[in-house]
Structure formats: structure tokens, C-alpha cells
Chain A
Amino acid sequence: MTGPKFSFDKPGKYIGQPTERPDTRRLLKGRGKFVDDIQLPRMLHAAFLRSPVAHAKIKSIDTSIAENIKGVVKILKGTDFIGIVEPYVGVLSHLAGLRSAPQMPLAVDTVRWQGEPVVMVIANSRAIAEDAASEIILDLEDLPAATNTEKALDKDEPVIHSEFDSNLAWERTVDVGNVDEVYARDDVVTVEKQFLFGRHTGVTLEARATIANYDPSENQLDIYYSGQAPHMMQFIYAKHLDIPEENVRVTAHDVGGAFGIKVHTYGDEIATAAAAKLMERPIKFLADRYESFMSDIHARDHVINSKMTVSKDGKILALEYDDLTGIGPFSMYPRTSAIEANQVLNLTGGPYTIPNYRANAKVVFQNKNMMCQYRAVGHPIAMALCDGLLEEAAAAINLDSVELRKRNLIPDDTYPTTSTTGMKLDDLSHQKALSKLIEMMDYEKLKKENADLKKQGMYRGIGFCSMIEVTNPSPMFYGIGGAPIASQDGATIRLDAGGGIHVASSVTEQGQGTNAVLAQVAADVFGVDMDRVQVTTGDTKTTPYGGGTWASRGAGIGGEAVYLAAEALKDQVLDVAGVMLQSKPEDLNIDNGHVIDNLSKEKRMSLADLARTVYYRGNELPSDMSPELIATRHFRVTDTPFVFTNGAMAAHVELDIETGIVKILNFWAVEDCGRVINPMLVDEQIRGGVVQGIGHALYEECLYSDDGQLLNTTLADYLVPMATEMPEIHVGHIETPTKTSVLGAKGAGEAGTGGAPACIINAVNDILRPLGVTNYQIPMTPNRLLDTLRSAKI
């Protein structure tokens, strides 16, 4: 150790403070740089003709009229990419048995979902490309489509990939303890429910966007990327377009929302890069809203039959369910579409002690758009399932559901421990979180108020969820299975000659405030004002190698790397300062841009003076002193697959029993994400996440016809939450730092989305249950609720 280490004993100048994000200045001036804001010389524009049907053989494609439209430069079919793009398969070796077929960027001989890209038109403008696409004649021979998840494995259902014997992509069973023995007991109560989770999607306000530019003189491919994982995409473009990895640069500037939508490999984006290489010109592709709905990954789509057994004195004894999930015709590359089902198996019941547990998940192919990881992968399913059953069980034994939770939550003083499904759990605080939640919402008063209002014909309910969230994943998530997805991240911090510092990090920014959080950590730990910190993220050429931002890892992993790099740079600076000031490095420190005496706090020299001496007047330094004022550190989580967080949330809702409209009156969330680096940003992550969760619970659903036509492809008929209907969301914190890092930060980005659906579902059923009915199909639309209410006793 050279100088004094950063101390968390007293409040930091930045760490722990609701610091404003420097990035907002740019965005509030209209100076952001999103992919579509970039115009390159000689740039062309792509549009795709997409399959109008769910399943068909391509008999012929006639482009003769389209080719002759003025301004059309090139038309490419699926076959044109053979030999140019190496096919990709979305499997991971640690998901044993997972299978999927090779994919090409465009359909080659068969189309397998409505919306699959079939022909690419490249023209001088997007409008002309669309003109041409509309003149292409596709001759398709319809094939029967497998669209019903529940029938996907039936013998007479069409098999989507002829090389497989069925539409089964993956299956896993978890069996712990002995549920059958529990069922045989006569002192227990079992509740049984079917849960239906509709498909929805991310609706990033900036749709997917790519510019690819290829320079043949250097065999260099530059990708302007609206996404979350630049290094992963660098690998993918390099491998599948046969370009050395170091010759591929992926840059993400501003990204207009991502939510997991923008962390996958999309055929239209690969085709754009391949075409740029072929044509040696920049090509821009922007998904419009219509094609976003048809081609951005969809999420969820689960049918779950489940039961929970409790003892009459309120102990959860057994949980059993079968999860059937439809993923579209392929498993998405490279993360695969089996992760969500796997997470459901891993996470369900995670907050509780459940001695007996049996679950089976089947992942099936369908002729629908592909399903893959979207914000809070598996969490909303797992939490809604367990806490929904828990509420049912509480009602069945006539116990308040909060009391049932209290009796079964893993106690705060038992960590480290292991969940029923074998997940390592540490540094969690379920009991504290629930107590704080109850206090914040004044539960007893609220219950009484609901009961009083019911006498006046108002139907109000309360729904809870205790949850865990996967954050800061280790290599056990993807890397172990062979995916080019880094779980470690790096940070390089450089002292510039002017005395400011520059941070380059491999995590990325999509609005969460990652850049601000990194700057806060760097400024505090190194000892400069935040105004003197520049941050670069989202560039494979200038940042260390790393995973990017997904699975709530930016602050926890990226922040820790910055922490370590800032300490290392500080050590370098103090070594130099020690020589220059004839002092021991351990007696010096850095504060507010100056080297100071650590005891007296007296300023000794400015960082600018120090840096200039090192950079310009090296002659003043001893010859064995390295003129190095730059440090890189990487960080990864070891010894545990994930760093779990926990939370407790509740919703207070009113159901208009005549219209089926649910109004959310209030929402509370208590979250333990370890050390909070920026409370304002954490609160906003929770709120934004909760609202996306409310979207799933009440509004959002991709609706398909029986023959696989997506029926809602506009924002007018795919509903997302809007301002008027959204509640005030009250956020509280418990801070239990993780012991896996110095900073102690865990993630917070997905908690709201993971927990909110359960709260809404449970609150509505809190109203329905006394009326003799329940509904566990989400989204809970007026149509579905009215249907349920028709058999209610009102």
C-alpha cells in the first residue's frame, strides 16, 4: 500500500450523494449523439422486406421491378449471405441439452416467423429503400404454423426444424426434498393455480439502430451501435464476418433505452454489417416502430401450473410447478432463449425457506418472433408465481399474508446460506426490508381503510412481493457456457496534464447514469472534483475489455473496477509526489485536485503541477522513476454465481368492478442494493423498473392470431404505461454492502420490473378473492377482469 485508502466511514463528497448526472447537460441541449444522429459520407440506407406469414417455404423472390427504381443500389437475399456470414446457433454448453438450428441474417429457404427479414434493400434513402421493398414479389408456399405454446409438443403439431424430432428446445427439472411426502400429510393445505404470462416487449423509445462502415484498405469494420454490450458484438461481427477481432470497432454513444432488448444478435443488424463489407460503404439501418414490434425480442410467454403446500400454522412446506415457455423458432444468439426458464427454476421461492421443491421447465419452439432476455429475466415470473401462491395459501389458512411471509422469509441473521434451488445467498435483509415496507405504507391503517371503503362499494386491495434480484453476475452466467460475454469489467484512469482525470470503462450507459456513477467513484476515491472527471464508455477501441451493461452490473462491477483503478492511480501519483515533495507517500493524500499532507490537510502541490512535471519535465525526476500516471484494473465476482439483492414491495390498487379498470393508488418499494453510490439514480432505477413491471401486469402484450400474425404493431394498440395512470412510487433503502467487493455495491436496475407485477397481481386478487374468484393471467386487462368478475359473488 502506498497512500491512505478511501474510507467509507464518513459520507463521501460524491459516493452516497444524489449527484446530478453530467450527461443530462448534453441531452437537455439536444446535443446527444444517437445512432440516427450520425451521417457519414456516401452513407446508404437499408430497409428489409419481412415475412408476411409465420411459416412458409420461399419458392422465389422477384426483385426485377425493385432493382430498377432510381436510387436503389443493391438488393440482397438470404442466399446472397451464404459464404459471407457464418451461421450462428444460440446454445450454451452449461444449459445441457439446449438445441437450436443455425441461423442466417435473412431467411434462406424457409421463413419461420412473421417479421423475419427476407430481403434487404439498400438505397440512397430509407424512403426509396421502402419503395423498392414494397415492389418485391415474394412467392411463398405456406406451411402449417406452430403457434400455440401449450400444443407445441403435441405429436400432430408441425415441427419447426426438420432436424429435430419435436419442438422442444430445452428441458430442466429441479427436485429437492420430497414434495409427495408433504402432499400425503393430512395437516397441510395445498393451493393450486395456473399462471399465464403474456408476451410483451421492451419498446425502447429509440428503436434498434446500426451504422456499419467498412474500409477495405485496412480491413476495418466500424459499427455505430445502439446497444449494451460492445465487446460481445465486436466478437460476433468478427467471427461471423471473418474479420480479425481487433479490426472491428463497436462504438455506442447515446442509447435511447435498451432494457435487454439491445443485447442480442439481430439478423437485420448482421446483414447491415455484411452488406457494408460487401459494398465498402457505410450503411444505416434503423428499425422503425412497426418492425421493432415484429423483430425486437419478445419476453416472457409462460404457462405455469403450480401448487404450494403450507402447514396450518403457516410454514411453507412444498412448492411445485411446471413451466412451459415459448421462444419463437430459434434460441437467440448468443445468450440463448433458455436463460429465462432457467432463472425461473433458480429464483422461484428464493426469499423463503422451502424444504421441498419440484419444478420442471420446458422451452419450446414456435412460429412467432423470438423470445429472449429482457429486463429482470425470469424474475417477474418467479416472484409472481411464489408470492401469488403464498397469498393464496395465506387466505386458505386464514392468516395475514404479511405474517405468512414473516414466518417463512430466510432470517436476516442466517447468511451466508443457500436457497432451496442451490443459489448461494449472502448479505440479504428480507426481514428488515419487509418491516420497513410495512412501516412506510402504514399497512394496518391501509387495511382498515380498505375494509371501510368496501362497505361503500369501493374495491381496494393490497399486494405484496418479497423478492431477490440477480445482480453482478460472475462467469457462471454465460462465459462458462462458451458465450463471448465477459463478466469482468475494466477501468483505465489516467491523470491528464491539466490535473483532471479520464476514466475509460467497459460498462456502458443507456440512461441509467452509469457514467455519472463511475465519475462519482473516481472523483471521490482519487480525490478530484467531479467536474474534472471525463468518462468514456461504449467503445471497444478505447476502453478496457468487458461485458457492458446488463443484469444490473454497471455500478457493482464497473464501479468496483473504477474504484480499484482510482486507488492504483492514486498510489502512482503519491509515489511521484513523495519523491518530488521529499515525503513518504503514506503521509500524503489527494484532495480536491491537490496532493495534501494527510495529517495537516495542507496543500502541497496541485495535480496539474505534478502531471506536467512528469509529462513535460521528466528530467526533474529520478531516472528510475516511471513516468506513468495511468492505471487499469479489472474486477469480476468470484466464488458466487451472482450477487443477490433483495427487496420488498407493495401496491395499493382500486378495481372498478363495473369496468375492470385497475387504478394504482400507491406503490412502495424497499430495496437493498448494498452500498448506494447515488441514491437519486437508484431511486429512479427502481421507479422506472416498477413502471415497466406495471406495464406487464396491466397493459403490455404482443397479441398473435392463431396463424401467427402479430396483431398489434403500433403504439396505438400496444399499450405501455403513461403518466396519468402511474402512481407515486415511494422508495426506501436498506444498505447491506456485499462482501464480494470493496465498494459493496450491488445492482438495482431490474428490481422494480421483477417485483412490481407480483404486487399488482396480488393486490387485484386481494380484491377478487373475497368475491370468490381469482385471476392469474397477465396483463390483467379490463376484458379479462370483467370475464373473471362475471362469476364473482358481488
Chain B
Amino acid sequence: MVDTKTITVTVNNEEYTSTVNVRKNLIDYLREDLGLTGSHVGCEHGVCGACTLDMNGQTVRSCLILAVQADGMEITTIEGLPSEGIAEELKKSFAKNNALQCGYCTPGMLSSALEYLNNGGRANKEEIRRHISGNYCRCTGYQAIVEAIYDVAENGVSK
């Protein structure tokens, strides 16, 4: 018997009501049921960080949360990052520093970086490195990502 449950989730400011299989992870729900494929699946065991996104103001690994656990929650994925303010500044800085190559780690990396910046993270490369050390990147060697976050921490949001 397939156990299902109906949930209501707000994703990127839109409310969705869906009936989901209870064993489905949040990341699979977002990608398969809502078509929000910007968040990526890298390991399904909570280590790589590619599926990191914001749930109720905190970063979480969406492969380690069941979709049913997101009932009543507010979720922001890479698709829902605002086109202004610190998120936009961060995206610009990522492009400018080439802080992404294949782009697979990028959704999780942006989410972790935003958490750092929104919590008052300083323009300190060691602290930035520590904060993103739960996010794997196999392409860049991390330096460009650190620089991109550093630049935003230092310069803030340009007018």
C-alpha cells in the first residue's frame, strides 16, 4: 500500500497543495512534482550540499527532509532568490568571479553563502571557507567562490 499525505507548502512565495508519497524527499518533490529543477541532487545522504535550500529562514539539506515534513513551511529555492538586494549582488559576484563552472553545486552554494551574509558574516576568507565547507564543488577549487562571497561581504549591496 502506498502511503500518501496531502501537504501545503509555500515555495518561492507561491502556495502549493499536493498529495505526496510519504517516502518522497523534499528535493524530489520540488524537482519532480513542482518542476523546480534548480536545486540539485548530488548524494542523497546529506554530505555534498547541492540540495541545500532555505526552509523557514534556515538552510537545510532537502535530501534529508521528507516532503511531508515541509507541510506548512516556507521554502526558497534558487529560482526564488530575489532579483535585488544581497541575493542579486551575490549572483552578480558569482558571475564576475567565475565562482561556478558546471553549476551543479551552485544552488546549494548560494544558499549557504546567503546564510553567511544574512547572519552578518564578515569579509574574512577563513570564516567564509569554514561556512561553505559543507558544500562540495569539484570544479572551481573553491577560491573563486570564496572571493565572490568575500566581495559581497566587503562591499554590501551597491546602490
Contacts and interface: CB of A to CB of B under 8 A. Distances in A.
A78 B5 CA distance: 39
A395 B9 CA distance: 66
A258 B138 CA distance: 10
A681 interface: yes
A687 B141 contact: yes
Interface of B: 21, 23-24, 31-32, 35-45, 47-48, 50, 77-79, 91, 94-96, 98, 100-107, 110, 126, 128-130, 132-133, 135-146
B133 A24 contact: no
Interface in A704-740: 714-716, 720-724, 726, 728-729
A692 B96 CA distance: 23
A690 B141 contact: yes
A688 B141 CA distance: 4
A21 B100 CA distance: 10
Contact of A27 (B21, B45, B106): B106
A256 B98 contact: no
Contact of B98 (A257, A510, A684): A684
Contacts of A684: 98, 101, 139-141, 144
A399 interface: no
Contacts of A171: none
Interface residues of A, number: 56
B35 to A, nearest CB: 8
Contacts of A689: 141
Contact of B78 (A30, A207, A256): A30
A688 B140 contact: yes
B39 A204 contact: no
Most chain A CB inside 10 Å of its own CB: which residue of B39, B104, B130:
B104
A28 B95 contact: yes
Given A28-B91, A29-B79, A684-B144, A205 B45 contact: no
Contacts of A245: none
A21 B96 CA distance: 9
Contacts of B129: 723-724, 726
Contact of A203 (B45, B77, B138, B146): B138
B107 A30 contact: yes
A726 B32 contact: no
Contacts of A28: 78, 91, 94-95, 100, 103, 106, 110
A36 B39 CA distance: 11
13 contacts: A28-B91, A30-B77, A32-B104, A37-B37, A127-B24, A203-B136, A258-B102, A289-B44, A511-B102, A512-B101, A684-B139, A714-B43, A723-B133
Contacts of A26: 103
Contacts of B24: 127
Contacts of B78: 28-30
A20 B98 contact: yes
B138 A692 contact: yes
A203 B32 CA distance: 24
A28 B136 CA distance: 17
Contacts of B106: 27-28
A402 to B, nearest CB: 25
A680 B107 CA distance: 22
Given A511-B101, A688-B138, 11 more contacts: A24-B98, A30-B39, A31-B79, A204-B138, A206-B40, A256-B104, A510-B101, A681-B98, A687-B141, A716-B45, A728-B143
Contacts of B107: 30
Contacts of B135: 723
A36 B138 contact: no
Most chain A Cβ neighbours within 10 Å, of B21, B42, B101: B101
B50 A205 contact: yes
A263 to B, nearest CB: 15
B156 to A, nearest CB: 19
Contacts of A257: 101-102, 104, 138-139
A259 interface: yes
Interface in A193-232: 202-207
B124 to A, nearest CB: 13
B45 A714 contact: yes
> Which 9 A/B pairs are nearest by Cβ-Cβ distance?
A30-B38, A511-B102, A27-B103, A511-B101, A256-B104, A691-B141, A30-B78, A37-B37, A715-B47
Contacts of A20: 95-96, 98
A41 to B, nearest CB: 14
A458 B139 CA distance: 32
A6 interface: no
A34 B41 CA distance: 11
B31 to A, nearest CB: 7
Nearest to A516: B98
B102 A254 contact: yes
A150 interface: no
Contacts of A691: 140-142
A699 to B, nearest CB: 12
A218 to B, nearest CB: 28
Contacts of A720: 136, 138
A338 interface: no
B45 to A, nearest CB: 6
A721 B133 CA distance: 9
Interface in A153-208: 202-207
A123 interface: no
B141 A729 contact: yes
Interface in A435-461: none
A730 to B, nearest CB: 10
A556 interface: no
Which one of A25, A30, A259, A723 has the highest number of Cβ atoms from chain B below 10 Å of its Cβ? A723
Given A34-B104, A513-B98, A715-B48, A205 B137 contact: yes
Nearest to A258: B102
Given A37-B37, A684-B98, A684-B144, A724 B130 contact: yes
A255 interface: yes
A39 interface: yes
Contact of A510 (B21, B77, B94, B102): B102
A24 B129 CA distance: 22
A535 to B, nearest CB: 16
Nearest to B125: A728
B102 A256 contact: yes
A288 interface: yes
Contacts of A34: 37, 40, 104
B91 to A, nearest CB: 4
B103 A24 contact: yes
A680 B98 contact: yes
Contact of A254 (B36, B39, B103, B132): B103
A127 B104 contact: no
A680 B129 CA distance: 21
Interface string A36-68: 110100000000000000000000000000000
B100 to A, nearest CB: 6
Nearest to B105: A205
A21 B38 CA distance: 19
A26 B32 CA distance: 20
Contacts of A510: 101-102
A98 to B, nearest CB: 31
